[in-house]
Chains A and B, each alone.
Chain A
Amino acid sequence: MVASRPRIGHVLLLLPLAGVVACLVWRAGSVREDPAEVLRALRAAAGPTLPEPSTCGAASRSEPERYDRETLYTFIDGAAEGYLARGFQRCIVASYTFSDSAGPPLEAVVEVYRFAESLGATSLFEEERPKGATPLPGPAGGVTDGTVLLAVAGRDLLKATVVSGADGRAALEKIAAAWAAGVTP
């Protein structure tokens, strides 16, 4: 058996393959997105999001729970109908703990509801707005009375409720700011 030596024809056979590789590399470079933009778009498609604990100064956060139109009543039975009637789609809920060396830990339950239209979110915002609630400072928007925070961004309604005894205004303001910063417009 005689081994044939590489000829110019063999090399020419590799040229189309090299062309395809070059084309793919060029196209990948031209359509590459900003990873942050991609992440934001994916999150927006997947559903409402909660702020990371570190972004709002919380010491910890419970495992988020998710509910949809079929399961919302298992979370807020009795209140669910008002949300469903306004086009509720899904929500995410978690409990945040804020540790402050000056006092006992503060705990807040944070809920973010997504509606089919922004009107659903604003309608509930107006209905549930606590008496005596004042607008939050800064770009986050929303209102709070120190116990309950409400804010709207697009189709999402943020609701945070302090469930430990301390005054929660400072923590609620941080939650609102962190949430607004992470929400896709």
Chain B
Amino acid sequence: MSDEIGRWDRREVVTRLGSAALAAGAVLAGVAFFHDRRRDVPARRKVPDWRAVGVPPRVVAARGGEPAANVRRAVAALGGMERFVRRGERVVVKPNVGWDRLPEQAANTDPEVVAELVRLCLAAGAAQVVVTDISCNDPRRCFARSGIAAAAAAAGAVVVESGRLRLVPADLAGLAEGIEVAEAVLAADRVINVPVVKHHRLSRATLGMKNWFGVLGPGRNRLHQSIHRAIAELAATFKPTLTVVDATRVLLANGPQGGSLGDVRGVGAVAVGTDPVLCDAWGGVQLGLRPAELPFLREAEQRGLGRTDTALVEDLGTA
């Protein structure tokens, strides 16, 4: 063998090495070309904890004024937005923009509540405020009809409809495992959850903890099979900087989509807090439901995610 190699001249060596390199290259190119990328499992992103450090759990409610004034009063009572949003941070405001409905139909968060939060965040020094949600109906129509696209943009926010959101695998446990999450939300430094108070035919009420459905991608419908457990699990995963419960108008029946103005009651109140469970308990009361009537509240309290005693809510009274 070594004798044979010893007889090769330089030209033959170069030719043989070149052929070998060519063959290896062809094999590698084939592997790269035919490799099934769908079987690659990208890393699951961790869901950040967006809560402000050192802030105790509190909920403050304001009523009687315009929606924006109620937001301002409640946030001020909690120490101002500067306590929650720092200069240069990127904030996501997550309202409920699920339905192709007018503000008067109370299926979506009031646009003035959203706009005021955007203004407060920017005034506190936020580098960018993104307003987004994954709608149920056509997202373009939902954002336009709800008035949220126009109000939030006018207030200085970047409005991102669900059609423009990128979904990524996230570290979700329980029933939501495997469902993708909006990357814009996961990338935020702070997240403010802004649900509207309304009836829901499965969970009886859709409030802040249920509002996390709106950051989930396809497959979220399966969570409806065990809705109370799913809501509590989402609350254990997504820990917002603030929850702002909009009860400017309350949809009392035929939720979540609503439509009839006869199902809407003007309450004119907003609650802002750092205890998401207590915020939802307060929202349930605006619908005429005691916390004990909402199983997801009980489950969330048992998991240690917050309290359900609505006597703990600090009511600022009427403006």
Complex Cα distance A75/B142, Å? 12
- Bound Cα distance A147, B258 (Å): 11
Q: Given the complex, which residues of B lie within 8 Å of A147, measured CB to CB?
A: 105, 259-262
Pick the contact of A130 from B101, B201, B257, B260 — CB < 8 Å?
A: B260
**Is B261 a contact of A78 with CB atoms below 8 Å?**
no
Interface membership of chain A positions 148-164, coded 1 if the CB is closer than 8 angstroms to chain B and 0 otherwise: 10000000000001011
Across-interface contacts of B128 in A (CB, < 8 A): none
On whether A145 and B262 interact (CB within 8 A), knowing A78-B256, A82-B201, the answer reads: yes
Tell me, rounded to whole Å, the shortest Cβ–Cβ distance linking A103 to chain B. Answer: 16
Interface presence of A117 (CB below 8 A): no
B52 interfacial by beta-carbon distance below 8 Å: no
Q: Which one of A75, A81, A132, A145 contacts B136 once the chains associate, using CB atoms below 8 Å? A: A75
Question: What's the least CB distance linking A31 to chain B, in Å?
Answer: 45
Q: Is A32 an interface residue (CB 8 A)?
A: no
For A76-115 the 0/1 string (1 means CB < 8 A from B) is 1111111000000000000100000000000001000000
> Please, how many angstroms separate the alpha-carbon atoms of A95 and B100 in the complex?
11
Q: What 1/0 mask marks residues of chain B from 214 to 232 whose CB sits below 8 Å from any chain A CB? A: 0000001100100000000
Partner of A163 from the list B145, B221, B224, B263 (CB cut-off 8 Å) is: B145
A83 to chain B: closest residue by CB: B201
- Which chain A residues lie closer than 8 Å to B220 at the CB level? 77
Interface size class of B (residues with CB under 8 A): 20 to 34
Q: Verify if A133 is at the interface (C-beta below 8 Å from B).
A: yes
Q: Is A16 an interface residue (CB 8 A)?
A: no
Cβ contact within 8 Å between B259 and A148: yes
| A109 to B100 alpha-carbon distance, docked (Å) | 9
Instruction: List B contacts of A146 (CB < 8 A).
Output: 261
Report whether A130 and B263 are in contact in the complex, using a CB–CB cutoff of 8 Å.
Answer: yes
* Complexed CA–CA distance, A161 and B137 (Å): 13
Do A79 and B262 have beta carbons less than 8 Å apart? no
**Residue B102 at the A interface, CB < 8 A?**
yes
Q: Is B310 an interface residue (CB 8 A)?
A: no
We find that the number of chain A residues with CB closer than 8 angstroms to chain B is 26
B213 within 8 A of A: yes
With A81-B224, A130-B254 already in contact, the answer to whether A145 and B260 are too (CB < 8 A) is yes
The residues in B between 123 and 140 inclusive whose CB is less than 8 angstroms from any CB of A are 136-137
Instruction: Check: B206 CB closer than 8 A to any chain A CB.
Output: yes
B289 at the A interface (CB under 8 A): no
Contacting A78 at CB < 8 Å: which of B102, B104, B202, B262?
A: B202
8 Å CB interface, B222-278 against A? 224, 253-257, 259-263
- Residue A165 interfacial (CB < 8 Å): yes
A131 within 8 Å of B (CB atoms): yes
Docked-complex contact A77 and B136, CB < 8 angstroms: yes
In the complex, the chain A residue whose C-beta lies closest to that of B259 is: A161
Which has the most chain A C-beta neighbours within 10 Å: B221, B256, B259?
B259
Minimum CB distance partner of A72 in chain B: B221
B223 to chain A, nearest CB (A): 10
Residues in B neighbouring A161, C-beta threshold 8 A: 101, 259
Tell me whether A81 and B202 are in contact in the complex, defined as CB-CB below 8 angstroms, given that A131-B263, A163-B145 are known contacts.
yes
B302 nearest CB across to chain A (Å)? 24
Q: Which residues of A contact B257 (CB under 8 A)?
A: 76, 78-79
- Closest approach, in angstroms, between the C-beta of B287 and any C-beta of chain A? 15
Instruction: Give B298 Cβ to nearest chain A Cβ, in Å.
Output: 21
Within A41-66, the residues touching B (CB, 8 Å) are: none
In angstroms, Cα B220 to Cα A77, docked, is 9
Do A131 and B262 contact each other (CB < 8 Å), given the known contacts A78-B213, A163-B102?
Answer: yes
User: What residues on A are CB-neighbors of B136 within 8 Å?
Assistant: 74-78
Task: Sample 8 A-B pairs with CB under 8 A, ordered by A number.
Answer: A73-B224, A77-B220, A78-B201, A78-B256, A78-B257, A131-B260, A132-B262, A161-B101
Q: Which residues of B contact A (CB under 8 A)?
A: 98, 100-102, 104-105, 136-137, 141, 145, 200-202, 206, 213, 220-221, 224, 253-257, 259-263
Q: 4 extra interchain contacts, Cβ-Cβ under 8 A, other than A131-B263, A147-B259? A: A73-B224, A82-B202, A133-B262, A147-B262
